[in-house]
Amino acid sequence: MSLGMSCAISVWLLALTLVYPPPHASAAKDQDAIMADGPVSIRERKYIRNPLLQRRQFVVEVIHPGKANLSRSELAAQLSKRHKVADEKCVVLKGFRSNFGGGKSVGFACIYDSIEAVKKVEQKFTLIRQGLAEKVESSRKQIKEAKNRGKKTRGTGVRQAKHKAKRSQDS
């Protein structure tokens, strides 16, 4: 088959698809429109009551067809309502990943018994994210100088250096 013949066939096929679109094209558009308005469903798996850390922990699957994602605050509000939690700050959400193509996200949730338990267990950046702690602003240079000063002391000297630093900070 010559090059001119194959070009003519491809032009003819293109004209056919423009005149007669495939039957599934319009159905897909209608289905997307329905899914965009669809409800968001939240599933919980691997539910564990952890008494040592004073929390309930589980894997959360959020199915959100037609939506990019569900915000952490909305998800925390729905989980706190579902589990009858007094304060939304006791609900900590971590590590959410969206599936390729969207429609589903999976993450981890911890529901603490009290705010004191949250402060005792969670990391500092998580407490700042939850609004339970203030971020301490410090310059990059100060952080590096403190790190390098700490490198120079060894053994019991580290303890003495920390004590001196704390005393000078209090004064």
Give the distance from CA 58 to its chain's centroid.
14
Rg (CA), the chain: 28
- Round to whole Å and give the CA distance between 132 and 75: 18
- Round to whole Å and give the CA distance between 129 and 35: 32
- Round to whole Å and give the CA distance between 57 and 167: 41
Sheet holding 41-50, edge to edge: 41-50, 55-63, 104-112, 91-98
The answer to whether 56 and 90 have CB atoms below 8 angstroms apart is no
The answer to whether 63 and 104 have CB atoms below 8 angstroms apart is yes
Residue 160, both tokens: 């003495």
Please report, as a single letter, which amino acid is at residue 38. Answer: G
pLDDT per residue as tens, the chain (171 positions): 565 556 556 555 555 444 444 444 444 343 333 444 568 889 999 999 999 999 999 999 999 888 888 888 989 999 999 999 988 999 999 999 998 888 899 999 999 999 999 999 999 999 998 888 898 888 999 889 988 887 887 777 777 877 887 887 776
- Round to whole Å and give the CA distance between 106 and 75: 12
Place of tokens 């569900």: 70
- Round to whole Å and give the CA distance between 69 and 111: 21
The answer to whether 49 and 112 have CB atoms below 8 angstroms apart is no
- Round to whole Å and give the CA distance between 74 and 61: 14
